[in-house]
Amino acid sequence: MGGLGGVKVATITVDCEDPHRLGGFWSALLGLAVVEVGEDYAELAKLSEDGPNLLFLAVPEAKAGKNRLHLDLVVPDVKSAVDSALDVGARRAEGDLGGPFPWTVMLDPEGNEFCLCPPDCPGPSAS
């Protein structure tokens, strides 16, 4: 099979305009602590015991177009998760990204897509 062998994803880095705002949003959404903050970054606790963590890093350019990578979050109740995401500052995706799918495509405060997926979801990363 090849590959690098022994690889572990340690960090998922999200380029953004305001890492403190975006780190705060994802912290509230996922219930993860912000563990480190610098002038141009914010880092969250690990997503699970063995990682990875999310790092929000300031970059000079704005987001342009659909993300090439996004998170699919499996949740027990999509409707409840959508309501919770809206409460902390997310918004629903519209147009082609809006569905119809068995999952819901959402946007974080800087327009980065993420999916809220039911436990039995067939292939949410097709969005």
Shared domain for 71 and 127, answered yes or no, is yes
Q: Where are the alpha helices (DSSP H) in the chain?
A: 19-30, 78-87
- Which domain covers residue 30, as residue numbers? 6-62
Q: To which residue do tokens 């996004």 refer?
A: 70
Shared domain for 72 and 122, answered yes or no, is yes
Task: Count CA within 13 A, CB hemisphere, residue 115.
Answer: 23
Shared domain for 110 and 92, answered yes or no, is yes
- CATH code: domain of residue 45: 3.30.720.120
The Cα–Cα gap between 111 and 108 comes to 5
User: What total of structural domains would you count in the chain?
Assistant: 2
**pLDDT score recorded for residue 45:** 97
- CATH code: domain of residue 100: 3.10.180.10
Q: To which residue do tokens 């819901």 refer?
A: 104
Which one of 15, 44, 62 terminates a domain?
62
**pLDDT score recorded for residue 1:** 62
Is residue 96 situated within a structural domain? yes
Could you list the mean pLDDT of each consecutive 10-residue stretch along the chain, which spans 127 residues? 83 96 98 97 95 95 87 94 97 80 92 94 57
**pLDDT score recorded for residue 109:** 97
Alpha carbon dihedral 100, 103, 104, 105, in 10-degree steps, equals: -90
**pLDDT score recorded for residue 82:** 96
Is residue 117 situated within a structural domain? yes
